Amino acid sequence: MVKRERYVTSVTCPQCALNGSATWEENERGNLETTIKSLSHGFKIGPGTEIYCADCGVKATIGRTLSRSEMKRPATPKDTPEA
């Protein structure tokens, strides 16, 4: 039986700054492909094994944790210049 490596990496929604983690494992063939084994609550696996925020539907950033001050915010009327 081949020993498979496991990896844990951080995942963050760039829209709402939800932080969590994903656990990956090498697949059974022993090549460099990995399979997501678990995700923190609030994230889901989308097409092509991409990780998305379950609430926002935005593709998660993998490997970097964002603080709330770093997250993307939609423009508000006071942020846009007046015509």
Per-residue pLDDT 10s for the chain (83 aa) are 556 678 888 999 999 999 999 988 877 665 667 788 899 999 999 887 899 999 999 999 988 655 556 555 554 455 445 54
Give me the residue spans of the domains in the chain.
Answer: 6-62
| Rounded Cα–Cα distance for residues 2 and 17 (Å) | 37
pTM recorded for the entire structure = 0.67
Residue 25: phi and psi, rounded to 5, are -140, 140
CA dihedral (6, 9, 41, 27) positive or negative: negative
Closest CA to 59 of 73, 45, 77: 45
What amino acid occupies position 1?
A: M
